C-alpha cells in the first residue's frame, strides 16, 4: 500500500514514510521563508551597494562606503579647493600633503587603498589634480605598509621561535652563559670569576650541596662500606641496657662462644620487650620506605602520554634517560620543521 507523501517533503525518498501534520507544517514554513527571501532580494537589487562615485575604492565591487569614506572625500575636496591657486607647492613637496592618520585606526581602508592603486582609468570621477593627490597618498601608504612588513620580518628573524615543550637544556645553558658573559664584561671580569656574581643565598645553597655526602653509585650500593653505614644508621637509636647485658653474661658461661663450643646454633633467650623494640623498628623502616616513594604532584598543563599509573611511571623513567635527546625532535614535529620542504 503506497503511503501519502508530499513531493516537497524531505523524507519523500523513503518508501516507508507517510506525511503527517508535522510534515505539512514544515513544508509551509519552508515555502514562507523562501518567499520572504525572494521579496527581500528583489527589494535590495536596485540599491545593492552604497558607494560614492568620488570614493577611491569605487571600482572595488565588494566595497561599501562608510562614514570614514565620506569624511575622506570631504577632506580631499576641501584641500583641493585650498590648493587651487598654488598647485606647484604640492608638486614640489609631496611630504607636505596632509595624509590622514586615521588610516592607522582603519587598517582595512589602508589595505583597500594599497590594492586599488592604478592608472588614471581607476578614477573616472576625478580631475587631474585629484588623481595626482590620491596617487601620492597611495604611494605613501604603500611605502609605510612595506616598511612595517619589513620590520616584522626582521624581528622574526632576530627572535628564535618559542618552543612548545620548553627549551632544551643545551639551549638554556648557552643563553645563560651569554648573559653571564655580558655581565662579566660590563664589570671587567672573565669567565673564571663568574662566582663573584652569585648572591649570598645562592652561595649558601652551593655550599650546602658540597657538604652533603655523595649518594652511592649503582655498583656501591651493596659493598661493605655502604652496608656498614646502613647498619650504623639503624642501630644508632638502640638503647643498651648494660645491667641486663651483664646478668646474661654471668648466667651463661658460653655467652661468648669460641670455635670449639658445642652449643653452635643455640640462641640465648630474648626478652619480650626487646622483641617489641625490634618489631617497632621494622615497622618504622617500612613506613619510611612507603613515604619515600610518595605520590608526586600532578601538573595539569603537562602533556598526557600514559594510559594508567604504571605506564606513567615507566614513561617518566624513559623521559629521564632519553628526554634530552628527543626534546628537539618533539619541538620540530610540533612546529612542522622536522622534515625539509
Please give the average per-residue pLDDT across 181-196, as a whole number. Answer: 85
Chain-centroid distance, C-alpha 69: 41
- Of these ranges, 79-83, 111-115, 330-334, the one predicted with the greatest mean pLDDT is 330-334
Model pTM? 0.26
Q: Which grid cell is 176? A: 645563560
Residue position matching grid coordinates 670455635: 259
Alpha carbons within 13 angstroms on the beta-carbon side of residue 41 total 6
Q: How many CB atoms are closer than 10 A to CB 87?
A: 14
Residues 68, 52 contacting (CB under 8 angstroms): no
Q: What angle do CA 46, 51, 134 make, to 5 degrees?
A: 155
Domain boundaries, the chain: 67-158, 169-211, 218-255+264-292
Residue position matching grid coordinates 650546602: 208
Q: Is the pLDDT of residue 107 over 50?
A: no
- Alpha-carbon distance of 112 to 68, in angstroms, equals 13
> Three-class SS of residue 132?
helix
Q: What percent of the chain has pLDDT over 90?
A: 3
pLDDT in tens, 275-327: 998 899 899 988 887 777 666 667 777 778 889 888 988 998 998 889 888 88
Chain-centroid distance, C-alpha 219: 42
Please give the average per-residue pLDDT across 17-26, as a whole number. Answer: 86
Q: What is the mean pLDDT of the chain?
A: 76
Q: Is the pLDDT of residue 146 over 80?
A: yes
pLDDT in tens, 123-139: 667 788 888 888 888 89
Write down the pLDDT at residue 283: 92
Residues 6+ apart with CB under 8 A from 59: 116, 122
Q: What is each CA distance from 335 to 77, 140, 300, 330, in whole angstroms? A: 51, 36, 22, 9
Lowest mean pLDDT among 58-67, 184-193, 253-262, 293-302: 293-302
Residues 6+ apart with CB under 8 A from 196: 189
Amino acid at each position: 500500500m503506497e503511503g501519502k507523501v508530499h513531493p516537497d517533503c524531505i523524507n519523500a525518498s523513503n518508501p516507508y514514510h507517510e506525511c503527517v501534520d508535522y510534515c505539512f507544517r514544515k513544508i509551509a514554513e519552508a515555502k514562507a521563508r523562501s518567499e520572504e527571501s525572494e521579496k527581500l532580494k528583489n527589494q535590495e537589487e536596485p540599491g545593492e551597494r552604497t558607494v560614492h562615485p568620488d570614493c577611491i575604492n569605487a571600482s572595488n565591487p565588494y566595497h561599501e562606503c562608510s562614514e570614514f569614506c565620506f569624511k575622506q572625500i570631504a577632506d580631499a575636496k576641501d584641500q583641493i579647493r585650498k590648493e587651487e591657486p598654488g598647485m606647484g607647492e604640492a608638486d614640489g613637496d609631496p611630504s607636505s600633503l596632509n595624509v590622514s592618520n586615521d588610516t592607522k585606526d582603519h587598517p582595512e581602508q589602508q589595505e583597500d587603498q594599497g590594492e586599488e592603486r592604478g592608472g588614471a582609468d581607476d578614477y573616472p570621477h576625478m580631475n587631474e589634480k585629484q588623481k595626482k593627490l590620491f596617487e601620492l597618498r597611495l604611494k605613501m601608504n604603500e611605502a609605510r605598509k612595506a616598511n612595517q612588513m619589513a620590520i616584522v620580518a626582521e624581528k622574526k628573524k632576530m627572535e628564535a621561535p618559542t618552543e612548545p615543550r620548553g627549551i632544551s637544556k643545551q639551549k638554556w645553558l648557552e643563553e645563560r652563559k651569554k648573559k653571564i658573559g655580558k655581565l662579566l664584561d660590563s664589570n671587567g671580569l672573565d669567565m673564571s670569576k663568574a662566582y663573584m656574581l652569585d648572591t649570598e643565598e645562592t652561595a649558601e645553597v652551593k655550599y650546602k650541596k658540597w657538604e652533603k655526602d655523595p649518594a652511592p653509585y649503582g655498583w656501591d650500593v651493596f659493598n661493605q662500606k655502604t652496608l656498614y653505614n646502613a647498619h650504623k644508621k639503624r642501630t644508632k637509636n638502640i638503647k643498651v641496657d648494660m645491667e641486663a647485658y651483664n646478668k646474661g653474661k654471668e648466667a651463661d658461661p658460653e655467652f661468648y662462644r669460641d670455635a670449639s663450643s658445642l652449643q653452635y646454633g643455640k640462641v640465648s633467650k630474648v626478652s619480650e620487650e626487646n622483641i617489641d623494640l625490634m618489631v617497632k623498628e621494622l615497622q618504622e623502616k617500612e613506613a619510611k620506605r612507603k613515604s619515600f616513594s610518595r605520590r608526586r604532584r600532578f601538573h595539569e598543563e603537562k602533556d598526557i602520554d600514559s594510559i594508567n599509573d604504571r605506564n606513567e611511571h615507566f614513561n617518566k623513567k624513559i623521559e629521564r634517560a632519553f628526554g634530552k635527546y628527543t626534546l628537539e625532535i618533539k619541538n620540530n614535529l610540533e612546529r612542522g620543521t622536522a622534515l625539509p620542504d
